[in-house]
Amino acid sequence: MRGLKYNETEIVPWDPIWSKMAQRAQRSIRPILPEGVETYHFGATSIDGCDAKPICDIGITWETEDDMWACVHAMETKHNPIGVIDGYGPRTYMYAKESKFDERRTHHFHVMERGGYRDNAVRLFRDLLNEYNQLVPMYVNIKEQAIKEGEWHRSRYTAAKTPFVNAATLLAFHRYNVDHTKFPRAFAELECNADKKIYNDIEKLL
């Protein structure tokens, strides 16, 4: 995986090798994680035919708080080089580089509560676009347009694609009949923030 420097944004053509690289990354961390912890590949690089930033997103899901802290500790101390982007807690966000001398981040590791809102949301978005691959050009066009308009900074780029992601995620919750009663507040925010026009445009393509 080529990776990107901090706050750098670039979209590259889809590469079928991404899934194999994600599998290799998961194999490399599983031996150091607590028993029962699950890992999976998500994000744009996990969607067939989707042009994406050349960084793999790997989910690490836990069921108990002890497992959460064990995951964070193991990744910090046993998987090098690693760094923490978003503090410690129910959702810890880490990055990995090929070497400590390389500025490019090749993988993002997301430590999330299994069955929580974030875990469900990223899986559902991935599954919807893989099942209904006709949505991929729409998603890619939004990302490419954001970069053309100068939204290359990571936070602005993310903000530009969020309306599509929110709408598609909400539609996936509805389409796959996923129980969202365990995280009512997060789901209510999703319903409130999802763009209704984009939601309808996506639904028409299914």
Alpha-carbon distance of 32 to 24, in angstroms, equals 14
Per-residue pLDDT tens listing for the chain (206 residues):
667 766 778 899 999 999 999 999 899 889 989 999 999 999 999 999 999 999 899 999 999 989 988 888 888 776 654 554 444 444 565 655 554 546 777 888 888 999 999 999 999 999 999 999 999 999 999 999 888 876 557 778 888 999 999 999 999 999 999 999 999 999 999 999 999 999 999 999 99
- What domains are defined for the chain? 17-114 (3.30.460.10), 120-205 (no CATH)
Alpha-carbon distance of 148 to 81, in angstroms, equals 33
Q: What is the pTM of this model?
A: 0.89
N- to C-terminal Cα distance for the chain?
Answer: 32
Check the CA dihedral 9-51-169-180 and report its sign.
negative
Alpha-carbon distance of 58 to 111, in angstroms, equals 9
Pairing relationship of beta strands 56-62 and 92-97 according to DSSP bridges: unpaired
Alpha-carbon distance of 47 to 16, in angstroms, equals 10
Contact 138, 202 (CB under 8 A): yes
